[in-house]
Amino acid sequence: DTAVSQTPKYLVTQMGNDKSIKCEQNLGHDTMYWYKQDSKKFLKIMFSYNNKELIINETVPNRFSPKSPDKAHLNLHINSLELGDSAVYFCASSPRTSNYGYTFGSGTRLTVV
């Protein structure tokens, strides 16, 4: 199936831990993103990568470090997790050219306790 897949779907962890979320797309898209959706359903861009190169970093704390080993993968590593990091994190991808919709993964629900 052509898709954006992210793992894990659920992640429950204690404050202070370090965790990673993985994302892969097999759509041949050049650009990948991480979005955060809070408890009020607000969606906010965190990072954008184009062909492994970081192009957008929306004032996200440096505890969050994206890594793109190739253009099909964009992983998110979070250090020293805080309660406020609890949210749903979505990976997405799109073609490089404009005027195309994004394809989203199914999300990772992160709960920090």
Partner 1 sequence: SQQGEEDPQALSIQEGENATMNCSYKTSINNLQWYRQNSGRGLVHLILIRSNEREKHSGRLRVTLDTSKKSSSLLITASRAADTASYFCATDKDFGNEKLTFGTGTRLTIIP
Is residue 104 at the binding interface for partner 1, with CB under 8 A as the rule?
yes
Q: How big is the chain, counted in residues?
A: 113
The SS3 of residue 20 is strand
Considering only residues 78 to 97 of the shown chain, the ones binding partner 1 according to CB under 8 A are 90, 92
Those residues with Cβ within 8 angstroms of residue 112's Cβ, 6 or more apart along the chain or in another chain: 13, 14, 15, 81, 82, 83, 84, 85, 86
- Applying CB under 8 A, among 50, 65, 86, 111 the residue interacting with partner 1 is 50
- Applying CB under 8 A, among 45, 52, 67, 77 the residue interacting with partner 1 is 45
Residue of 8, 75, 7, 4 lying closest to 46 (CA atoms): 75
Distance in angstroms (rounded) separating the CA atoms of residues 103 and 65: 22
Is residue 65 at the binding interface for partner 1, with CB under 8 A as the rule?
no
Is residue 42 at the binding interface for partner 1, with CB under 8 A as the rule?
yes
Nearest approach in angstroms of CB 16 to partner 1 is 28
Stretch that binds partner 1, among 11-19, 38-46, 61-69, 74-82 (CB under 8 A): 38-46
Distance in angstroms (rounded) separating the CA atoms of residues 39 and 51: 31
Contacts to partner 1 by CB under 8 A: 4, 31, 33, 35, 41-45, 48, 50, 55-56, 58, 90, 92, 98-107
